[in-house]
């Protein structure tokens, strides 16, 4: 862990005057812990791995020192090139990062561009035609620009990976490696993430040169000002309980998480039936829709927003009083990300998770193991439903049993193949029938089947196997021809 002297004012960093003026206009006075530790390291040209919870000011921690270094050595960017490349997992987060760069660099005439999916690429190609100082992009669209010769990465001096763990979760690892392979070897690389799984640490070791590690909170910690609750409910009653919760809790703004896009839309429809206005953002929504919904959520026109984990990475909204896990995440670190959307800027927050079924209970155990906290639980399940789950599993058992052991287990015995093979010619020969009885001594009613007209119903399973074994039964006929 890198030891740095903590600075208590942005003036202590010695940032350039245009940046300091912008910070005053933004009312930035005291840096957060991640900022006070990271900014001096970036100013000293060190590679950095920064670990901090969502909402702790990671963007300013890398944007401010990068802008200062750009001003120290200000040169005109090459055409179709950029000096700073920032990669983030989602469109919303990329847009907010670019807004932060433009806000901090408003007095330095910063040139910047945004490259994200969901919008026409032609406009983005034109925006980098003359070259820009800062490019913020999602990995997929950036590769599209590079492959179409709309962008060249040979002049990148600063590489920033924000929310690196989420980019790996979303499957961007190969895209990131392709991008890095096109960058100059001599560059400054910064990793920022809310959590640091082992895979991220291994990737950082491969891409960074002697990185300084900055962690202001433990990897698995949750904010102290968040009240966390677990409510066990019946799966079918989740939607009704969510509506009741939003109606009775003192909600200022509520962010509801679902695991799937379809689930988010379904929750919005259920809340609408209960008279609660809500909207959803996820990958299937257009960029214009997502921006419009986020603006309404920030302004308070929409008090309840339903989102998937990927889309929620770009939600940087103060005043979220409640985070509700409608579906508990199957990755424990994702739980830390989700509830970090509340209790920002010194405010209190409430995180409520609805848990239904044994699968989500196993997710809950993994979460409690990660955060090392036994969360308080409230059981709202109906007694009838609690008894119905084991009963249903017992009912399914006997139904599936005959499929497994019935005639296959017994008739498939080594001694039964021969009798089945000899049964086809057995109508005129009594010996094969005798052997068949010996091969099935455990069935008391079988001996009576030697008489015509008896045992027809009980032999139905045997008939099915006789039909299936019709081809192998030709072997005895071939052996009888020489006779």
* 203 and 65 in a common domain: yes
* Other C-beta atoms lying within 10 Å of the C-beta of residue 111: 19
What element of type H or E holds 83?
strand 82-87
User: How far apart, in whole angstroms, are the C-alpha atoms of residue 483 and residue 481?
Assistant: 5
Strand order in the sheet with 132-137: 112-115, 132-137, 82-87, 158-162, 188-193, 48-51, 212-215
In a domain, 311, yes or no: yes
* 185 and 278 in a common domain: no
* 194 and 63 in a common domain: yes
Listed residues 215, 234, 255: the one ending a domain: 215
CATH code of the domain covering residue 76: 3.40.50.300
User: How far apart, in whole angstroms, are the C-alpha atoms of residue 136 and residue 106?
Assistant: 17
In a domain, 393, yes or no: no
* 424 and 380 in a common domain: no
pLDDT reported for residue 172: 87
Distances (CA, A) of 266 to 100, 270, 295, 470: 34, 6, 22, 52
**Partners of residue 229 on adjacent β-strands:** 352, 376
In a domain, 399, yes or no: no
In this structure, what token pair is assigned to residue 275?
Answer: 């008279």
* 236 and 210 in a common domain: no
pLDDT reported for residue 147: 94
* 127 and 92 in a common domain: yes
Q: What DSSP string describes 106-163?
A: TTTT--EEEE-TTS-HHHHHHHTTT-EEEEEE-HHHHHHHHHTTS-B-TT--EEEEES
Q: Is the entire prediction scored with pTM above 0.75?
A: no
In a domain, 480, yes or no: no
Total domains, the chain: 3
* 230 and 304 in a common domain: yes
In a domain, 197, yes or no: yes
* 145 and 48 in a common domain: yes
Alpha helices in 170-260 (DSSP H): 173-181, 198-207, 238-248
Per-residue pLDDT of the chain (483 residues; tens, 9 = 90+): 444 455 778 988 999 999 999 999 988 888 988 899 999 999 999 999 988 766 678 899 999 999 999 999 999 999 999 999 999 988 888 988 999 999 999 999 999 999 998 888 999 999 999 999 999 999 999 999 999 999 999 999 999 999 888 887 778 888 998 999 999 999 999 998 777 777 778 888 888 999 999 987 654 556 678 999 999 999 999 999 999 999 999 999 999 999 999 999 999 999 999 999 999 998 888 888 888 998 899 899 999 999 988 777 667 788 899 999 999 998 887 898 889 888 876 788 999 999 998 899 999 999 999 888 999 999 999 886 554 444 333 333 334 334 444 434 344 333 444 444 444 444 444 444 444 444 444 444 444 443 344 444 444 444 444 444 445 454 555 544 554
In a domain, 395, yes or no: no
User: How far apart, in whole angstroms, are the C-alpha atoms of residue 39 and residue 29?
Assistant: 15
* 322 and 180 in a common domain: no
Report pLDDT digits (tens) over 41-99: 999 999 999 887 666 788 999 999 999 999 999 999 999 999 999 999 888 889 889 99
pLDDT reported for residue 375: 93
Question: Are 437 and 450 within 8 A, CB to CB?
Answer: yes
Handedness of CA 209, 212, 217, 220 (dihedral sign): positive
pLDDT reported for residue 406: 41
pLDDT reported for residue 410: 40
In a domain, 3, yes or no: no
* 302 and 351 in a common domain: yes
Question: Are 93 and 68 within 8 A, CB to CB?
Answer: no
* 366 and 270 in a common domain: yes
pLDDT reported for residue 220: 53
Question: Are 137 and 144 within 8 A, CB to CB?
Answer: no
Range of the domain at 80: 10-215
Task: Please list the helix, strand and coil fractions of the chain in percent, rounded to the nearest 5, in that order.
Answer: 50, 15, 35
Listed residues 185, 215, 245: the one ending a domain: 215
* Other C-beta atoms lying within 10 Å of the C-beta of residue 238: 18
Listed residues 215, 247, 282: the one ending a domain: 215
pLDDT reported for residue 238: 95
Report pLDDT digits (tens) over 4-20: 455 778 988 999 999 99
Which of 363, 321, 47 minimizes the C-alpha distance to 207?
A: 47
In a domain, 332, yes or no: yes
Q: What is the DSSP letter of 470?
A: T
pLDDT reported for residue 334: 83
User: How far apart, in whole angstroms, are the C-alpha atoms of residue 42 and residue 318?
Assistant: 27
In this structure, what token pair is assigned to residue 448?
Answer: 């009576």
The structure tokens 């848990």 sit at 355
* 358 and 321 in a common domain: yes
């Amino acid at each position: 862990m890198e030891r740095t002297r903590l600075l208590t004012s942005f003036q202590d960093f010695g940032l350039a005057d245009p940046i300091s003026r912008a910070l005053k206009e933004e009312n930035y006075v005291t840096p957060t812990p991640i900022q006070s530790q990271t900014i001096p390291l970036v100013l000293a040209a060190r590679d950095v791995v920064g670990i901090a919870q969502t909402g702790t000011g990671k963007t300013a921690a890398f944007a401010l020192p990068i802008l200062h270094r750009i001003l120290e050595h200000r040169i005109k960017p090459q055409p179709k090139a950029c000096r700073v490349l920032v990669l983030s997992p989602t469109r919303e987060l990329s847009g907010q990062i670019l807004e932060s760069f433009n806000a901090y660099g408003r007095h330095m005439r910063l040139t910047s561009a945004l490259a994200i999916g969901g919008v026409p690429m032609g406009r983005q190609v034109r925006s980098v035609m003359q070259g820009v100082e800062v490019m913020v992009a999602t990995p997929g669209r950036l590769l599209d620009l590079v492959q179409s010769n709309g962008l060249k990465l040979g002049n990148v001096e600063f590489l920033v990976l924000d929310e690196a763990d989420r980019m790996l979760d979303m499957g961007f690892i190969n895209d990131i490696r392709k991008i890095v392979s096109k960058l100059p070897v001599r560059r400054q690389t910064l990793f920022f993430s809310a959590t640091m799984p082992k895979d991220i640490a291994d990737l950082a070791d491969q891409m960074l040169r002697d990185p300084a590690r900055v962690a202001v909170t433990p990897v698995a910690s949750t904010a102290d000002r968040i009240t966390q609750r677990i409510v066990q409910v019946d799966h079918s009653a989740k939607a009704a309980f969510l509506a009741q919760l939003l109606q009775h809790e003192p909600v200022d703004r509520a962010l509801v998480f679902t695991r799937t896009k379809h689930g988010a839309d379904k929750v919005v429809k259920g809340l609408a039936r209960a008279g609660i206005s809500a909207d959803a953002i996820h990958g299937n929504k257009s960029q214009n829709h997502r921006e419009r919904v986020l603006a309404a959520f920030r302004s308070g026109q929409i008090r309840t927003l339903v989102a998937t984990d990927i889309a929620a990475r770009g939600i940087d909204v103060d005043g979220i009083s409640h985070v509700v896990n409608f579906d508990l995440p199957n990755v424990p670190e994702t739980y830390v990300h989700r509830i970090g959307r509340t209790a920002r800027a010194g405010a209190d927050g409430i995180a409520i998770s609805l848990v239904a079924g044994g699968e989500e209970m196993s997710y809950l155990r993994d979460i409690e193991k990660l955060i090392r906290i036994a969360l308080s639980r409230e059981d709202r399940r109906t007694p009838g439903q609690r008894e119905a789950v084991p009963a249903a599993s017992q009912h399914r058992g006997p139904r599936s049993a005959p499929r497994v052991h019935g005639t296959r287990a017994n008739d498939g015995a080594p001694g039964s193949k021969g009798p089945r093979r000899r049964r086809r010619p057995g109508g005129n020969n009594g010996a094969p029938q005798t052997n068949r009885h010996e091969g099935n001594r455990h069935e008391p009613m079988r001996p009576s089947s030697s008489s015509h007209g008896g045992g027809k119903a009980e032999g139905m399973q045997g008939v099915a196997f006789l039909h299936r074994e019709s081809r192998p039964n030709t072997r005895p006929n071939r052996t009888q021809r020489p006779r």
